[in-house]
Amino acid sequence: MKLPIEYKVEPKNLLDLMLAGDAKLTFISLHTQKHITFFIKGDKFQAYDYKVYYDNHFIGRLSNMQFQHYPKELPLSKENEAFEWIWKYCCQPERMAKNLDIYHNGNCARCGRVLTTPESILIGLGPECVKLINK
Protein backbone atom coordinates (compact mmCIF):
# COMPACT_ATOMS: atom_id res chain seq x y z
CA MET A 1 0.00 0.00 0.00
CA LYS A 2 1.42 3.38 -1.00
CA LEU A 3 0.17 6.56 0.68
CA PRO A 4 1.26 10.15 0.06
CA ILE A 5 4.55 10.72 1.83
CA GLU A 6 3.37 14.14 2.98
CA TYR A 7 0.71 12.41 5.12
CA LYS A 8 3.30 10.35 6.99
CA VAL A 9 3.19 10.86 10.75
CA GLU A 10 6.30 11.08 12.89
CA PRO A 11 5.95 8.52 15.70
CA LYS A 12 6.75 11.22 18.27
CA ASN A 13 3.53 13.04 17.21
CA LEU A 14 1.31 9.96 17.29
CA LEU A 15 -0.17 10.35 20.77
CA ASP A 16 -1.19 13.97 20.13
CA LEU A 17 -2.92 12.95 16.91
CA MET A 18 -4.64 9.94 18.47
CA LEU A 19 -6.08 12.12 21.23
CA ALA A 20 -6.90 15.15 19.09
CA GLY A 21 -10.57 14.16 18.78
CA ASP A 22 -11.18 13.24 15.12
CA ALA A 23 -8.19 11.16 14.01
CA LYS A 24 -8.16 8.70 11.14
CA LEU A 25 -4.80 6.94 11.08
CA THR A 26 -3.41 4.15 8.93
CA PHE A 27 -0.65 1.91 10.24
CA ILE A 28 1.48 -0.17 7.85
CA SER A 29 3.69 -2.96 9.12
CA LEU A 30 7.26 -2.61 7.88
CA HIS A 31 7.65 -6.39 8.16
CA THR A 32 4.49 -7.70 6.46
CA GLN A 33 3.30 -4.60 4.53
CA LYS A 34 -0.21 -5.24 5.90
CA HIS A 35 -2.15 -2.14 6.86
CA ILE A 36 -4.96 -1.23 9.21
CA THR A 37 -6.87 2.02 9.63
CA PHE A 38 -8.47 3.23 12.85
CA PHE A 39 -10.77 6.17 13.49
CA ILE A 40 -10.46 7.62 16.99
CA LYS A 41 -13.29 9.96 17.91
CA GLY A 42 -13.26 12.05 21.08
CA ASP A 43 -16.38 12.54 23.17
CA LYS A 44 -17.24 16.25 23.20
CA PHE A 45 -18.92 15.95 26.59
CA GLN A 46 -16.53 13.63 28.37
CA ALA A 47 -12.88 14.64 28.53
CA TYR A 48 -10.35 11.83 27.99
CA ASP A 49 -12.99 9.51 26.56
CA TYR A 50 -12.55 8.31 22.96
CA LYS A 51 -14.33 5.74 20.81
CA VAL A 52 -12.19 3.57 18.53
CA TYR A 53 -13.53 2.31 15.21
CA TYR A 54 -12.22 -0.09 12.61
CA ASP A 55 -14.03 -0.24 9.25
CA ASN A 56 -16.93 1.79 10.73
CA HIS A 57 -17.37 -0.74 13.54
CA PHE A 58 -16.95 0.23 17.18
CA ILE A 59 -14.15 -1.91 18.64
CA GLY A 60 -13.55 -0.25 21.99
CA ARG A 61 -12.87 2.91 23.87
CA LEU A 62 -9.99 4.80 25.35
CA SER A 63 -10.98 5.99 28.79
CA ASN A 64 -8.54 7.49 31.29
CA MET A 65 -5.71 6.47 28.94
CA GLN A 66 -6.71 2.77 29.02
CA PHE A 67 -8.03 0.82 26.04
CA GLN A 68 -11.11 -1.31 26.74
CA HIS A 69 -12.06 -3.64 23.89
CA TYR A 70 -15.65 -4.32 22.94
CA PRO A 71 -17.44 -6.59 23.46
CA LYS A 72 -15.67 -7.39 26.71
CA GLU A 73 -16.97 -10.94 27.01
CA LEU A 74 -15.58 -12.07 23.63
CA PRO A 75 -11.94 -12.90 22.83
CA LEU A 76 -9.90 -10.13 21.26
CA SER A 77 -10.31 -9.69 17.52
CA LYS A 78 -7.24 -9.09 15.33
CA GLU A 79 -8.26 -5.43 15.12
CA ASN A 80 -8.45 -5.14 18.91
CA GLU A 81 -5.05 -6.83 19.26
CA ALA A 82 -3.54 -4.46 16.70
CA PHE A 83 -4.95 -1.38 18.42
CA GLU A 84 -3.82 -2.62 21.83
CA TRP A 85 -0.26 -3.04 20.51
CA ILE A 86 -0.32 0.43 18.93
CA TRP A 87 -1.70 1.98 22.12
CA LYS A 88 0.87 0.18 24.28
CA TYR A 89 3.81 1.48 22.24
CA CYS A 90 2.54 4.88 21.06
CA CYS A 91 4.72 6.58 23.68
CA GLN A 92 7.83 4.73 22.46
CA PRO A 93 8.58 6.47 19.12
CA GLU A 94 11.76 4.49 18.48
CA ARG A 95 9.91 1.17 18.73
CA MET A 96 7.09 2.45 16.51
CA ALA A 97 9.56 3.70 13.87
CA LYS A 98 11.16 0.23 13.68
CA ASN A 99 7.83 -1.54 13.16
CA LEU A 100 5.29 0.77 11.54
CA ASP A 101 4.78 3.55 9.05
CA ILE A 102 1.94 5.80 10.21
CA TYR A 103 -0.19 8.05 8.00
CA HIS A 104 -3.02 10.50 8.59
CA ASN A 105 -5.76 10.93 5.99
CA GLY A 106 -5.07 14.55 4.97
CA ASN A 107 -7.62 15.98 7.36
CA CYS A 108 -7.08 17.67 10.72
CA ALA A 109 -7.00 15.06 13.48
CA ARG A 110 -8.96 17.43 15.74
CA CYS A 111 -11.71 19.03 13.63
CA GLY A 112 -11.67 16.92 10.44
CA ARG A 113 -11.15 19.81 8.00
CA VAL A 114 -8.96 19.27 4.94
CA LEU A 115 -5.36 20.33 5.60
CA THR A 116 -4.03 22.84 3.08
CA THR A 117 -0.81 24.37 4.41
CA PRO A 118 2.46 22.43 4.25
CA GLU A 119 3.02 22.87 8.00
CA SER A 120 -0.42 21.49 8.81
CA ILE A 121 -0.06 18.54 6.45
CA LEU A 122 3.29 17.72 8.05
CA ILE A 123 1.88 17.48 11.58
CA GLY A 124 -1.70 16.37 10.83
CA LEU A 125 -3.33 19.32 12.61
CA GLY A 126 -4.70 22.60 11.26
CA PRO A 127 -3.21 25.94 12.37
CA GLU A 128 -6.07 26.79 14.76
CA CYS A 129 -6.32 23.30 16.21
CA VAL A 130 -2.58 23.00 16.86
CA LYS A 131 -2.85 26.10 19.07
CA LEU A 132 -5.58 24.43 21.10
CA ILE A 133 -3.66 21.15 21.41
CA ASN A 134 -0.48 22.92 22.55
CA LYS A 135 -2.20 24.85 25.36
Q: Structural domain tally of the chain?
A: 1
Q: Is residue 119 part of a domain?
A: no
Question: Which pLDDT score, from 0 to 100, does residue 1 have?
Answer: 65
Residue 128 domain flag: no
Say if 52 falls within a structural domain.
yes
Domain interval for residue 48: 8-106
pLDDT at 41: 96
Residue 46: per-residue pLDDT: 78
Residues of the chain with pLDDT under 70: 1-2, 135
Q: How far is Cα 46 from Cα 28, in angstroms, rounded to an integer?
A: 31
Determine the pLDDT at residue 109.
Answer: 96
How high is the pLDDT of residue 29? Answer: 94
From residue 70, give the alpha-carbon distance in Å to each of 54, 85, 101, 105: 12, 16, 26, 25
pLDDT at site 135: 65
CB neighbour list of residue 15: distance below 8 Å, 6 or more residues apart: 90, 91
